[in-house]
A and B are shown apart, each in its own frame.
Chain A
Amino acid sequence: METGEDLNQDFQPSSESSGITIHLDAFQGPLDLLLHLIKKEEIDIWNIPIAHITEQYLEYLQTMKDLNINLAGEWLMMAATLIYIKSRMLVPQEQSAEAQPEEEDPRTELVYQLLEHQKFKNAAEMLYTREEVENAIWNKPPADVLEEGQDVVAVTLFDLLRAFHEVVQRFEAQRVMEVAQEEVTIEQKIVDIRTLFLVHDKILFSSFFSEARSKRHLIVIFLALLELVRLHEVWLYQKKAFEEIQICKVKETA
């Protein structure tokens, strides 16, 4: 039981022991390391000195373990593959040498895997360059360009209802005297909101209701707002989920 735990500890260094666990495999895998070694040592891919490369590979693996880098299973798989190839190359082939003179080199499969990987790395480079170029080009700015470089989250109906619920609660908490019930219609409110947006580009959802004097009034404003959303005259967004909802005028297509 104890030894089993020790072994686990070895393969998955606990983050408590040294503080940080680095997840290297988010960026590169064992094939990338092998390609790196081959390029660094200017090795002929068709004649890989497997013992040497295996040794180097295991050294890197040890360093990564020392650095508490979390190694995914494929790193150990590759280590096993390398050791297997190495052992097969050590087996004397005398007895089969004459019968099967063309016995396949145990390295071949790995070589093709490396070439294939390099091929797609090159294709990825090409995509990278293309993306770079595309980043220097603008189309008509989409209507949702608001504040520079900021991602915004579309508001769901539930966010909206929650926000409205908060508004109603706040209203009830500080209940102002209900002055003579003036009848406000949704149509009227829509006109009011449109006027507001002539001056403002965006308004905070919660501040929208400050002038309301009755619960009915609140609901009318809310419905007017929904109608304007439906008509694509305004749209609602938040910088992050659960953040304050902003109401923004939809800019007319220039």
Chain B
Amino acid sequence: MQAVMEAIIYVADDPVKAEQFKEVFPEEGLDEIEEALKNLVDSFNARPGGMMIREVAGGYRMTTRPEHHERIRAYLKTRPNAKLSMAALETLAVIAYKQPVTLAEVLAIRGKKSSTALQTLLERKLVAILGRKQVVGRPILYGTSREFLIHFGLRNLSDLPTLEEFAQMAGEQL
């Protein structure tokens, strides 16, 4: 079963979830599948190869190991991807921690208009519209997407450090 799982993680375009393996192994219980996955990840990552299996956005995906990035880039002849601007990252941070959140609430925290940054985030599918707030004007509520988790290599939202940690840092910085 582990060998098949490894192969499936390899061919998949998106992180593969335990439930998806359940479809492949209908005779197995979810517990057995999760157990096998854990063993696979442990043994795969224990070998000092060029690849690793990571848990991202609630699923598993096979990636290269970061320590090889320079040689890989030299081979691919690529430049790093376009990074997000600081304005976009700040806006994204507010949305990630305060979601569901309206644009006005983002403005209050950042002290400046954030519509351009938000536009970028929506285009890159890092942020999604969650609905509308049931107040006057029914403003749009924003939250982070699954793509956000993948982009930042997070298993889930609770993988993020807590806001208190950043508050403490802020207290020390000022």
Contacts and interface: CB of A to CB of B under 8 A. Distances in A.
Given A25-B112, A29-B112, A127-B93, A135 B170 contact: no
Contacts of B66: 133, 136-137
B21 to A, nearest CB: 18
Contact of B63 (A25, A118, A139, A148): A139
A142 B14 CA distance: 10
A139 B62 contact: yes
A30 interface: yes
Interface residues of B, number: 49
Contacts of B90: 120-121, 124
Contact of A39 (B63, B87, B173): B173
Contacts of B153: 130, 133-134, 137
Given A117-B110, A140-B10, A45 B152 contact: no
A113 B111 CA distance: 9
Interface string A12-52: 00000000000001111111000100110000010000000
A114 interface: yes
Contacts of B63: 137-139
A78 B85 CA distance: 24
Given A26-B116, A131-B83, A148-B78, A119 B111 contact: no
A118 B173 contact: yes
Interface stretch (B40-48, B134-142, B161-169): B161-169
Contact of A128 (B62, B65, B89): B89
A123 interface: yes
Nearest to B54: A137
B113 interface: yes
Contact of B13 (A72, A116, A126, A142): A142
Contacts of A130: 152-154
Interface string A99-128: 000000000000001111111111111111
A148 B166 contact: no
A201 interface: no
A74 interface: yes
Contacts of B81: 135
B110 A115 contact: no
B78 A124 contact: no
Nearest to B88: A124
A195 interface: no
A148 B80 contact: no
Contacts of A119: 163, 166-167, 169-170
Nearest to B65: A137
Contact of B61 (A39, A114, A139): A139
A137 B160 CA distance: 19
B84 A131 contact: yes
Given A26-B87, A134-B153, A149-B78, A120 B93 contact: yes
A29 B86 CA distance: 12
Contact of A123 (B69, B112, B166, B173): B166
B70 to A, nearest CB: 8
A116 B171 CA distance: 10
Interface of A: 25-31, 35, 38-39, 45, 72, 74, 78, 113-128, 130-140, 142, 148-149, 253
24 contacts: A27-B87, A28-B112, A29-B112, A45-B174, A74-B111, A113-B111, A115-B167, A115-B171, A118-B170, A119-B163, A119-B169, A120-B90, A120-B93, A121-B170, A123-B97, A124-B90, A125-B89, A126-B93, A126-B161, A126-B166, A137-B153, A140-B62, A142-B13, A148-B76
Given A121-B90, A140-B62, 14 more contacts: A30-B111, A38-B174, A72-B113, A117-B110, A120-B109, A122-B166, A124-B92, A124-B93, A130-B152, A130-B154, A135-B69, A136-B69, A148-B78, A149-B78
What 7 A-B pairs are tightest by C-beta distance, nearest first? A29-B112, A136-B69, A123-B93, A31-B111, A118-B170, A122-B166, A124-B89
